[in-house]
Structure 1
Amino acid sequence: MTYEPIWGAIIAWYLFLAGLGGGAFVTAVFIRFRHPDCPGLMRIGRIIAPVVVIIGLCLLMFDAAAGFQHPLRFALLLTNFGSVMTWGVVFLAIFVVVALVVLVLDLMRKDIPAWLDVTGMVMGLAVAVYTGCLLGVCQGFPLWNTALLPILFLVSAVSTGMAAVLLAGVFAYPAEFNRVTVMKKFHFWLPVVELVLVAALLFITSANPSPAGWESVATLLMGRWAVAFWLLFIVVGLVLPTVLECWMLWIASHELETSRTGQMVSALSDAGVLIGGFVLRLMIVSAAVPITIVQPWML
Structure 2
Amino acid sequence: MEIQLLYNVFHHESVSMLIAIYFHIVGLHAGCSIVSITATLIGKKEYKPVAKIGAIFVIILFSISPIFLLTDLFQPLRFWYLFIHFNPTSPLSWGTFILCAYPVFTGIYIYFLFKGNVRWSKIFGVISLPTAIGVHGYTGFVLGFAKARVLWNTAVMPSYFLASAMISGMAFMLIVALIRYRFTYQDKPLEDREKDLEIIDLLSKWLAGFMILNVFYVFSDLTVMYYHTEDAFETVELVRLGKFSFLYIWVDNVFGNIVPALIIVFKKTRRSHLLLLIAAILASIGVFIMRYVMVFGGQYVPLS
* Bin of the TM-score, shorter chain as denominator length: 0.7 to 0.9
Distance 1:34 1:240 in 2: 32
Aligned residue in 2 for 1:40: 49
Mean CA deviation greater in 30-39 or 263-272: 30-39
More divergent stretch after superposition (279-288 vs 123-132): 123-132
Alignment of 1:202-241 (within 5 A): 202-211=222-231, 213-241=232-260
Conservation of the 8 A alpha-carbon contact between 2:11 and 2:302: no
Distance 1:169 1:221, change over 3 A: same
**TM-score, normalised to structure 2's length?**
0.83
Deviation per CA, 1:107-158: give whole Å up to 9, x if none: 4555543110112222111223212101011111111111011111111111
When the two chains are superposed, the root-mean-square deviation of aligned CA atoms in Å is 2.3
Query: CA deviation digits over 1:3-27, x for unaligned, max 9?
Result: 5532122111111211221111111
- Is 1:167–1:270's contact at 8 Å kept on the other side of the alignment? yes
Q: In structure 1, what is the Cα distance between the partners aligned to 2:279 and 2:36?
A: 20
Please list the CA deviations of residues 66-96 of structure 1 after superposition, one character each: whole Å capped at 9, or x if unmatched: 11x344334235x222211111112221112
CA distance, structure 2, for counterparts of residue 219 and residue 194 of structure 1: 20
Mapped partners of 2:45, 2:284: distance in 1: 25
Q: Does 1:95 pair with 2:102?
A: yes
Q: CA deviation at 1:41?
A: 2.5
The code of the aligned residue for 1:244 comes to I
Deviation by residue 1:231-258 (Cα, 9 ceiling, x = unmatched): 32123211221121123xx235xxx82x
On the 8 A contact 1:14/1:59 being kept in 2, the answer is yes
Shift of residue 104 of structure 1? 3.6
SS at match of 2:80: helix
Q: Distance in 1 between matches of 2:93 and 2:297?
A: 26
Please give the per-residue CA displacement for 1:181-206, whole angstroms capped at 9, x wherever unaligned. 34432321211111111111122233
CA shift at 1:272, angstroms?
Answer: 1.2
Counterpart residue type for residue 278 of structure 1: F
In the alignment, which residue of structure 1 is the partner of 2:123? 115
User: Displacement, 1:208?
Assistant: 3.4
Structure 1 distance, partners of 2:70, 2:234, is: 31
Q: Aligned pair 1:152/2:171, yes or no? A: no
8 Å contact from structure 2 (residues 33, 54) kept in 1: yes
Q: Kindly indicate whether the alpha-carbon contact (under 8 Å) linking 1:191 and 1:238 is maintained by their aligned counterparts in 2.
A: yes
Q: Which secondary structure does the structure 2 equivalent of 1:142 belong to?
A: coil
What does residue range 270-289 of structure 1 map to in structure 2 within 5 Å?
270-288=280-298, 289=300
User: Are positions 1:194 and 2:214 aligned together?
Assistant: yes
Q: Distance in 2 between matches of 1:48 and 1:24?
A: 7
Distance 1:173 1:92, change over 3 A: farther
Letter in 1 for 2:268: I
* Alignment partner, residue 80 of structure 2: 72
Q: Which runs of 5+ in 2 are unaligned?
A: 1-8, 183-192
Q: Which amino acid aligns with 1:81?
A: P
Gaps of 5+ in 1: 294-299
Deviation at 1:39, TM superposition (A): 2.8
Greater Cα offset, 37-46 or 114-123? 37-46
Inter-CA distance 233–135: structure 2 relative to 1 (3 Å threshold)? same
**CA distance, structure 1, for counterparts of residue 196 and residue 162 of structure 2:** 24
Query: 1 CA distance for matches of 2:45 and 2:38?
Result: 9
Inter-partner Cα distance in structure 2 for 1:207 and 1:66 = 42
Answer whether contact 1:20 1:158 (CA < 8 A) is retained: yes
Q: Distance in 2 between matches of 1:166 and 1:35?
A: 18
Are positions 1:60 and 2:63 aligned together?
Answer: no
Tell me which of the two structures has the higher relative contact order, counting C-alpha pairs closer than 8 angstroms and 6 or more residues apart.
1
Aligned amino acid, residue 263 of structure 1: H
Q: Say if 2:204 and 2:276, in contact at 8 Å, map to a contact too.
A: no
Matching of residue 251 in structure 1 with residue 271 in structure 2: no
The verdict on how the C-alpha distance between 1:138 and 1:199 changes in structure 2, with shifts beyond 3 A counting, is: same
Equivalent residue number for residue 297 of structure 1: none
The aligned counterpart of 1:266 is 276
Q: Which amino acid aligns with 2:160?
A: L
